[in-house]
A and B are shown apart, each in its own frame.
Chain A
């Protein structure tokens, strides 16, 4: 499996059950809507290489279960995530109200510099909207999140959400704000030669998050 990429980012997709996390992921990877999707139990995975500002970035996406009951399981998967899609459903205020909890978890458990993009999914169901664009973008601003309204059904803004998040992480790396070498950054160099530069000690320390792909 020879894949060439410059960086590997660990991404999370989090948010309440039924907000369309798996569908967003499916749309992002397969470019189509999964209309017979099941609920995720535990965690599912996806990966895709995207090209952002002339860099090939491999996204390793952890699509987590949304039900509160699984929160204790999924929390353990946050560690070392470089980016996250925090998803709510624009037609369900309940999913929007839960955002603070998700955000706290993500900030606490993932890497400190985790870049989070807020996704108001099901944009296509505008008639049933319960959360306005304005309030959500205000929430995003207050919490230093990027924000997009997406539709896993039509594909609108789905790729953009992932790409924008990745771009911001790249910017942070370039500006030195993020150090890929730092443990638990959720970032790996893709190039084998570069990877060898990393101290062996660190490589050993990497466990779950650094997957060795």
Chain B
């Protein structure tokens, strides 16, 4: 016997767990857990709940025949409230269903509004732990006048719930009434579950297990032995009659066939019920779920079959006077941050048929409960504050962006040349350009020294297209790789690289909205500058521009950007010039981060290992796109100096980690920066990086190096590039 009274052994979390499992376990296919799966039991902010609407992966819901199902518990362990104590006086039973191998293997179960699942998981047996809902709290019940309902679904409000409950009890058997166990703890918002176990005579394969979250909890089964013996479960509360009525109703309703045989009192089930009946879960239950029960389809089944409140051998009817005393107060807390009350659970006495708790134990439980509540309250408050702060921050940001857009549009842009270098504009610029005008400002800042017009772009584009056509006709022209500028193989490579440009965005890949645009821009550029051709890294630059500008404007900005001395040096892979840049960088590196500089130096980690990637892609590959765009803003404001300043900012940001690393780990780290580099900390680091060395600015240092000739470069430059 697996089921039984376990309540006081069960932690709250497990109750929760089983609750979830109820939906999950029966299930072979992923089950949408929208309704069933619950809110937090004891405490904890609701939003911390897992997405109830989600679908459980198959392996999580697959039926596990083991009663303990520890794996399942573990699976949901994260849902539990940490530090929650045991639930002392609660008494939970489990609904145990077993399916002998092969007995049921293609049944399809359906849970109302929750999803469909097949019976594959049932091959080995299924266990439904109903501790989550089929539990009754004695005290709670006794204190109310209406039927206490326990449910796995959250009702939207108590009134509604009660209405549901009442209607359930008032309804005749022809309604979808079910066996309902209700808890009327007012403060507790419950969830409700419905399980219709309708029997189907002669139908071997159970098909439906319906859990209707809209209904008051009901679990019905033809074999549910809800006879007088059950009264024992409920002690001597006046409400028990009501409950029992409800239970009985549910039983009848969901097991019309049985009733037809035994009582013949129920009206015909509705059409819908007939359907259910045919593929009823009860049938499934009677026939195969409960291996201890032979295939009985007669009235005896009703008396001695499946136990709703615990798995009790058919012979031992007296033994099933154990009703789960542990309600699952699955409650959704509304917006105030009072932890959810679990009074109904933890502070209850044990059922009468169990030995009472000792005073000491009760005391301890009360204390645990109080601690739980206090902890939960703290957490919820903290979380709420955090959320509020976050929202406020976001709101503030949005507002400031909106304000900035106005300022840019109305004040700065109309007066661009005069204002672009003013302190105010530079400060505003530093905050990051508003995305809506970013492209525009970039275009203005990059300028159009080359005087490229959209018409010119069209010309080069059509030339590129012509080239692609002939290329496609004649096949690969790129045999002669060593011909200096490998412009023919550029065509191949562009194709290859477009596919690999921001692959996670899925917009530049084949079929993506910007695939052709990127292809066009890069192709037109190879025709515009055949001496440069396509160089890897360009696709990233073009892509970022395309994300912010129209195609022709993107090309104009692209061509002008690459025409800048620093970019030209790199994309032509001009060794001497690159070494100058690295040397200048190292001057500021040593100035700003002497410790790390020394560390790198002793590890022979030269700037080329990381700077090549960073400069070639203008940080759009190593940094998250939004952060990269801010770096671009800075680059547009300050020119190439900003690129090296950003590099130093990155090194500063990760200085502590890097100081602990040897050559290979540093190199690995720098060639794959953490994906979550946060913009604000990085920009703080950039702000703390001063591009001044001996009162010389970047340009002065760089031109001094240029004058020094290769000697200087050799001394400080990257040995790696000395070939």
Contact = CB atoms under 8 A, between A and B. Distances in A.
Nearest to A66: B536
Interface string B611-649: 011001100010000000000000000000000000000
B723 A212 contact: no
B417 interface: no
B536 A77 contact: no
Contact of B722 (A38, A69, A76): A76
B317 interface: no
Given A18-B493, A42-B616, A97-B479, A37 B500 contact: yes
A133 B478 CA distance: 23
A20 to B, nearest CB: 11
B603 A73 contact: no
A163 interface: no
B671 interface: yes
B672 interface: yes
Contacts of B342: none
A1 B603 CA distance: 14
B721 interface: yes
Q: In which size bucket is the chain A interface?
A: 35 or more
B619 to A, nearest CB: 12
B721 A76 contact: yes
Contacts of A212: 602-604, 662-663
B664 A94 contact: no
A17 B723 contact: no
Given A18-B496, A36-B503, A67-B493, A208 B671 contact: no
Contacts of A94: 476, 478-479, 481, 489, 492
Nearest to A210: B604
A153 to B, nearest CB: 15
A207 interface: yes
Contacts of B661: 1
Contacts of B504: 36
A60 B617 CA distance: 25
Given A94-B478, A208-B604, A41 B719 contact: no
Interface in B638-675: 660-665, 667-668, 671-672
B668 A75 contact: no
B573 A69 contact: yes
B297 interface: no
Contacts of A65: 536
Interface string B704-722: 0000000000000001111
B493 A211 contact: no
Interface string B184-220: 0000000000000000000000000000000000000
Q: In which size bucket is the chain B interface?
A: 35 or more
B222 interface: no
Interface in A58-74: 60, 65, 67-70, 72-73
Nearest to A206: B604
A60 B605 CA distance: 14
Contacts of B621: 38, 41
Residue of A18, A37, A109 with most partner-chain B CB within 10 A: A18
Contacts of A18: 493, 496
Contacts of A208: 604, 606, 719-720
Nearest to A42: B612
A73 B608 contact: yes
A76 B604 contact: no
A69 B486 contact: yes
B668 A47 contact: yes
A208 B721 CA distance: 11
B292 interface: no
Contacts of B478: 94
A213 interface: yes
Interface of B: 476, 478-479, 481-482, 486, 489, 492-493, 496-497, 500-501, 503-504, 533, 535-537, 539, 573, 575, 602-606, 608-609, 612-613, 616-617, 621, 660-665, 667-668, 671-672, 719-723
29 contacts: A17-B496, A18-B493, A36-B503, A36-B504, A37-B500, A38-B500, A38-B503, A39-B497, A39-B536, A40-B536, A41-B536, A41-B612, A41-B617, A42-B612, A44-B668, A47-B664, A67-B535, A69-B486, A69-B533, A69-B535, A70-B536, A72-B723, A75-B723, A94-B478, A94-B489, A94-B492, A211-B603, A212-B603, A213-B664
Given A18-B496, A73-B721, 14 more contacts: A1-B660, A1-B662, A17-B497, A38-B501, A40-B536, A41-B536, A46-B668, A67-B535, A68-B481, A68-B486, A73-B612, A77-B720, A109-B723, A212-B602
